[in-house]
Amino acid sequence: MGGQNESVRVVTENDTIGREAETVHPTDIAFVGPATATVIEDADFEGEAIQNRTVSYEMLREAGVNPGVAGRLRKEHSLSWSFESGNDLTDRSNKIRGLKDDERAWIAASSGDWEQQSTETATTDGSGDTEAEEAAWRDRSSPDPVTDVPEIDNQLANELAEAGITSVRSMAIADPERVADSLSFDFERVNRWRNAARDLL
């Protein structure tokens, strides 16, 4: 009788140990400190969601995670910006084929909510206007570096590259709020860069 009880006790112990081993505590995740762990514990998702990539950057922000920490978690675990239809810019850019790396980067960084400026279109088969053809050719050539934007030096350019902003064009169509959140920059500062970049196009 005693042996049977001991067997039941051992099985229960093993089951408990197994469950504990499967549990991921928030502080076990890179870049998650005590304050962020508290936020995650109160959120609608578990710490495992970050490792399983079933949580997005916007979900972390909505839960109250610090913008800088959310940005680092997004980069470290390759999290999506958002799961809302049409807003996952990273996935959207990866689906576009035939684009240069820089073009994919500025599509990923853009919000899609800025007004399109009307531009003159042309073909390169000789059917279009000469000046327009030249402009079209320039659009396909190497993009102007983001350091051409006033106030942006090489150090800032390296940080902006983490958000996919590597050229004047990608800066011009970036979402200032999203960039500011992901890189812990001042919103007004990023918005000023965005406007300056548009003036250069």
**For the chain, which residues make up each domain, given as ranges?**
2-77, 99-200
Residue 119 has pLDDT above 80, yes or no: no
Per-residue pLDDT, 66: 85
Band of pLDDT at residue 194, cut at 50, 70 and 90: very high
Residue 67 has which token pair?
A: 């913008």
Return the residue matching tokens 């870049």.
31
Average pLDDT over residues 79-95: 57
Average pLDDT over residues 70-87: 76
Percent of the chain with pLDDT over 70: 59
pLDDT for 178 equals 86
Nearest 5°: the CA angle 14, 20, 25 is 170
Q: State pLDDT tens for residues 136-176.
A: 555 555 678 999 999 999 999 988 988 889 899 989 998 88
Amino acid 180 reads A
Which residues lie below 8 Å from residue 75, measured CB to CB, with a gap of 6+?
162
CA distance 17 to 201: 61
Average pLDDT over residues 4-10: 44
Q: What is the mean pLDDT of the chain?
A: 71
Q: What is the pLDDT of residue 32?
A: 85
Buried b / exposed e along 135-170 (16+ C-beta atoms within 10 A): ebeeeeeebbebbebeebeeebbeebeebbbbbbbb
Of the pLDDT bands very low, low, confident and very high (cuts 50, 70, 90), residue 11 is: very low
Mean pLDDT of 42-57: 89
The more confident residue out of 25 and 87 is: 25
Most confident option among 21-25, 28-32, 58-62, 98-102 = 58-62
